[in-house]
């Protein structure tokens, strides 16, 4: 599929990952991209979605929009995270079908995997258990788009694909400590403690879990490769295939930010899922995606962006 001559709606295009997807679309020469803003199009509202499709007349919908946060935010908002994410996906896909959209690209989440999935996570293991409890409502809400996509393909011949990106990071991420994920939270804590001369930072859990991280620009490239080249029913992981323990991640960020204090692990807080690392072979086989950015290079660029934006503020 040549995207350059397509009309494309990117939900969440004003957000973190969305900004990189828009850049990647522009690099491909795409001219007709519509990004719905929440002030005009509340994607939880059916009538707003109908108006959106009538105004934009998309041939492709890339659904990135999500109500999302770290472990703390998920624990505080399980009902909201379930409802908002489920209702957006269900109604956006249904009305895309009714509007004759050519292709629907649904972004799931690594949180959809069972808590004790064998490592590396293979797509065939998605239904072999319940997700980790702190983010299960969010993960299950997003996983319902896989069920919907496969059901719509079977009954209506609707071309919807489902992608599972691992934890994302990069410049322009959310650095709000109330809702951020682990990398921006650690970067902010280290930089602020370094500049204020604070001798220690407090991090959640005990540092033993592992996580895999994908640079946001690489994720955007994977999404567009799938949009161009993949039209099948199988869910597909997007990641690097490499994991790092949270303890080792914290020490790496301390080194890259030149913070010389110490870490206090708050073991009264949850660790989350014990391990996360993806089998990325399906993405490579089906649409040729391999992550290009090394983890340390990506962290350096993220830290540089945060320091620059902090100085500007």
Neighbours of 266 (CB within 10 A): 10
Query: Which of 41, 81, 138, 259 is an active site residue?
Result: 138
CA distances (Å), origin 292, targets 79, 109, 215, 220, 238: 37, 21, 9, 12, 12
152 touches 93 (CB < 8 A): yes
- Paired strand residues for 263: 201
Tokens standing for residue 147: 């069920």
Q: Kindly report the length of the chain.
A: 313
Residue carrying the six token digits 């770290």: 70
Tokens of 247: 């303890």
User: Has 130 been annotated as catalytic?
Assistant: no
| Cα dihedral 186, 190, 191, 192 sign | positive
The secondary structure of 103-140 as a DSSP string is: EEEEE--GGGSBTTPPSSB-GGGTTSSPBPGGGHHHHH
Are the C-beta atoms of residues 250 and 208 closer than 8 Å to each other?
A: no
Q: Which residues are catalytic?
A: 138
């Amino acid at each position: 599929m040549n995207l350059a001559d397509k009309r494309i709606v990117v939900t969440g295009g004003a957000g973190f990952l969305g900004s990189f997807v828009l850049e990647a679309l522009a690099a491909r020469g795409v001219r007709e991209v519509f990004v719905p803003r929440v002030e005009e199009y509340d994607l939880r509202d059916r009538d707003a979605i109908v108006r959106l499709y009538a105004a934009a007349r998309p041939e492709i919908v890339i659904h990135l929009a999500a109500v999302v946060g770290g472990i703390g935010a998920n624990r505080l908002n399980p009902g909201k995270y379930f409802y908002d994410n489920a209702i957006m996906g269900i109604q956006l896909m249904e009305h895309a079908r009714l509007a004759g959209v050519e292709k629907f690209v649904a972004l799931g989440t690594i949180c959809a995997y069972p808590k004790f999935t064998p490592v590396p996570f293979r797509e065939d293991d998605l239904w072999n258990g319940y997700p980790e409890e702190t983010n299960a409502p969010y993960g299950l809400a997003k996983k319902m788009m896989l069920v919907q996509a496969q059901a719509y393909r079977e009954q209506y011949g609707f071309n919807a694909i489902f992608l599972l990106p691992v934890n994302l990071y990069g410049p322009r991420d959310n650095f709000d400590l109330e809702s951020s994920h682990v990398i921006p939270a650690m970067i902010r804590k280290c930089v602020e403690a370094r500049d204020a001369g604070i001798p220690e930072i407090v991090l959640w859990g005990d540092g033993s879990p592992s996580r895999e991280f994908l640079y946001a620009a690489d994720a955007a490239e994977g999404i567009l490769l799938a949009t161009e080249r993949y039209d099948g029913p199988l869910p597909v992981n997007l990641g690097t295939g490499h994991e790092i323990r949270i303890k080792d991640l914290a020490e790496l960020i301390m080194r890259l930010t030149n913070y010389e204090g110490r870490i206090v692990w708050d073991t009264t807080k949850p660790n989350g899922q014990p391990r996360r690392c993806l089998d990325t072979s399906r993405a490579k086989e089906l649409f040729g995606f391999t992550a290009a950015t090394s983890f340390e290079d990506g962290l350096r660029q993220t830290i540089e962006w945060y320091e620059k934006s902090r100085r500007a503020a």
